[in-house]
Structures are given as C-alpha cells and as structure tokens.
Amino acid sequence: MIFFLLSVTRMKELTSSQKTIMNYQDSTRIVIKVGSALIAPSGAGCNAKHTLPIARFIHQCQEDGKQVILVSSGSVAAGQQHIPFYTSQPSLAQKQAMAAIGQNAMMANWMRFFDNPCAQILMTHADLHDREGYINIRNTINELLTNNVLPIVNENDSVATEELKVGDNDRLAAMVAILTNSDLFLICSDVDGLFTSDPNIDKKAQHIPLVEEINSKIFALAGDTTNHLAIGGMRTKLEAAIKATSNGIATILFQGSLIQNFESFIKGSSIGTLFKAQSKTLSDKKHWVKHTLNSKGVIEIDAGAVEAILNNGASLLSIGISRVTGEFERGDAVDIHCQQTGNIIAKGLCQYSRTTIEQIKGQHSENFEKIIGYIDSDVIVKRDDLVLV
C-alpha cells in the first residue's frame, strides 16, 4: 500500500496537517499537475532531472492500485528553442508554433519512463464548455484508466485562441480532477506550498502547512509568476484549489523538484501545503456551471429580483432585469449582478440571447410573444441552471 499506517503512539505526535493527510491515505484516483519549470528547468527543451522522480512516484501509485491522471505543462517550453522571439513575451502565434513542436517532445519525455502505454489528451475550453463534450472526456479518461493506460492531459495550445483557452494548466488540472471524480489533487510546482509572503524576497516568510478554507486572507498572500513561458502564479494555484476543494477533492501544493517530498508523501508525512476538502454542496451540473464555464455577459437586476434569487429560491425573471452587457447567445453562461451594489450574486445558463433580452427586459413573460413573436421560456435563467456566487 502506498501509505503505511503509523502506530497509535506515533499518530498522537502528528501535527494537525499530518493527521489531515492521513485521512486521504486510501485515495484511489489522483490527478497530478506538473508545471513548466519542472518539465524544462532550463527554459528550453525537456529534461529528465525532475520528471524522472515524478514518473517513479506515478509508477509507485499505479503499482499500489491507484489510478493516476497526469496534467502536464511544458509543450511551449519544450519547443521554444526552435521559434525565435525578440520581445519579452512571445506572440500567440509564436506560442502556438512552440507548442506544436514541443507537444511531441513533452509526450516522448514522459513515455520513455513507463512500460505501460500513455495516452495524449488535448483539449480547449470549448471541449469543456459543451456538456456532452465534457461527459465524453470523462468517459474517455475512465476507459483509459480501466485499461491501465496513463492519461496525459494538456491544453491544445497549438490551436487554441485566447477565447478558447482554459487559461492555465492549474485550472485545467482542477477541472480534470472534478470531471473524473478524483479523490486527491496534487500540484507539483517550483514552490514548496503557500507562505505568509514571498520566500524569495522575505527571509521571515513562514510556511503554511494547512489551509482549512481558502478565503480573502489566503488570497491576499498570492503573488504572480515571473516566468514568461508560464501562465500560472500562486493566485491561479489557489483558484484551482478552490475549484477542487469545493467539490470535495483535497489539494496539496508542493515543490516537485524535491525528491524527498514524494518519499515523505508515500510515508504519510506532511508536505507542502494541504488545502482541506470542503463538503460538496453543488450538483455536478451546477459545479460545472460555476467553475468550468466562462461567462459571456452580465445581467444586472433590481433589488426585488435579488431578494427573490437569494432568499426565495427563484429563477431569474425578465421583469427584474435592468441592464444587459456583453455578447452572448441562448445557452451561454452569464453573471448576474445586483444593480444597486454592482456585486455578482449568481451565475447561470441563459435561455435567451443578449439581443432578445434587450427587447424583453422589464417585461412580464406574457408579453414575450407580442414583443419578439415567440416564447422559448417563461424565465431568463432557470433555477436548475443557476448557482449562487
């Protein structure tokens, strides 16, 4: 077994974070995300320095009956040496070309470490936005795992436009953990967890081994990345941890370049920062709406509609809409804001396009047919398609 049970005496000596980790010793499905700095530590081309120990860890998990899904960055870094750029930031086209070259190198770098087959899964946000596509991805990964194949997931950077990009592989990995109903989400990074301040700048920075809940104070500790080939900084890792933990998936952020972290984890010891799993309060569909879909617009509503949605479990009716912004079609996700405060209160799937809502806002549903000539729905956002924020 990948974790061994400690004696009762030893258990009493464990810190709070170590005891929490022990609760996840029988996790059966693990998503492990590996960042660009570990794939290409020199910034150009793949390197086995860090990926080999990670591969050994994955192999150990598989030997012990665990199912592992690998979300790997690094295609842009692996191919960047072949596409010269002369500014501080490569253009989108240059990054796409780098990814097209580097994706093969990144996959080859992983595949050489495993005897069992590996499968490449590339996706964009459009694949996750469509509910049927979302479920198809889940079914594909489940079938691969059933047949002892290691799924290696990455964003399809060679074709994704800014509109279709998930944004970063921290977020993508959290989505994969959610759609595959994983037990544990491991973020291998170039930092050893969360600190009270940037340890590279502040020598007094203190490590935080356990986060009970990610709140505004925790977010205030986040910094941004300085790596021009990477996208995710600490803030994106916290956002990914929120997505996973809110769906009942424990998340650990740790330094993937330290081999002893993997050895300690196997022994059940504390590593990095553990973000405790929260009780799952949303259905799979509502979690998909809240954490996977990008909102295409904003609907501002009056105080009466705010009260009805927040306290009466109501759907969003056209009569309460004051203003609409953005460009969206029927079925797109929209944010719902309180007109008075400007605060977002909910997010949901819209039953009408922005153009149509401009015509029927402030009206009762019985007037829809007279105004637009038809009625697709009596409400703008159904309660089953709406999640409070």
HEC assignment per residue over the chain: CCCCCCCHHHHHHCCHHHHHHHCCCCCCEEEEEECHHHHCCCCCCCCHHHHHHHHHHHHHHHHCCCEEEEEECCHHHHHHHHCCCCCCCCCHHHHHHHHHHHHHHHHHHHHCCCCCCEEEEEECHHHHHCHHHHHHHHHHHHHHHHCCCEEEEEECCCCCCCCCCCCCHHHHHHHHHHHCCCCEEEEEECCCCEECCCCCCCCCCCEECEECCCCHHHHCCCCCCCCCCCCCCHHHHHHHHHHHHCCCCEEEEEECCCHHHHHHHHCCCCCCEEECCCCCCCCHHHHHHHHCCCCCEEEEECHHHHHHHHHHCCCECHHHEEEEEECCCCCCEEEEEECCCCCEEEEEECCCCHHHHHHHCCCCHHHHHHHHCCCCCCCCECHHHEEEC
Q: 162: pLDDT confidence band, cut at 50, 70 and 90?
A: low
- Other CB atoms within 10 Å distance of the CB of residue 345: 17
Whole-number pLDDT of residue 164 = 40
pLDDT over 80 (residue 346): yes
Give the other-Cβ count within 10 Å of 269's Cβ: 18
Give the range among 19-23, 237-241, 280-284 with minimum mean pLDDT. 19-23
pLDDT score at 266: 85
Which of 4-8, 35-39, 87-91, 244-248 shows the lowest mean pLDDT across its residues?
Answer: 4-8
β partners of residue 68 = 30
Residue whose entry in the numeric block shows the structure tokens 């994983």: 182
For the cut 90, the answer to whether the pLDDT of residue 270 exceeds it is no
Q: How much of the chain exceeds pLDDT 90, in percent? A: 53
Closest CA to 185 of 226, 132, 240, 134: 240
Higher pLDDT, 293 or 162: 293
Q: Which residues of 185-198 are buried (b: 16+ CB within 10 A; e: fewer)?
A: bbbbbbbbbbbeee
pLDDT confidence of residue 161 = 54
The pLDDT tens digits for 14-43 are: 444 444 454 445 678 999 999 888 888 877
The pLDDT of residue 345: 96
354 vs 327: CA distance, rounded Å: 6
**pLDDT, averaged across the chain:** 85
Percent of the chain's residues with pLDDT above 70: 88
Domains of the chain, start order: 8-286 (3.40.1160.10), 295-388 (2.30.130.10)
Is residue 163 pLDDT above 60, yes or no? no
* Residue 361 pLDDT level (bands cut at 50, 70, 90): very high
- Give the tokens for residue 106: 């990144």
Per-residue pLDDT at 291: 81
Cα(157)–Cα(261) distance, integer angstroms: 30
> 275 exposed, middle or buried (CB, 10 Å; 0-12, 13-18, 19+)?
buried
- As given in the structure block, the two tokens for residue 322 are 């004051």
Closest CA to 95 of 118, 113, 79: 79
| pLDDT of 47 strictly over 90 | no
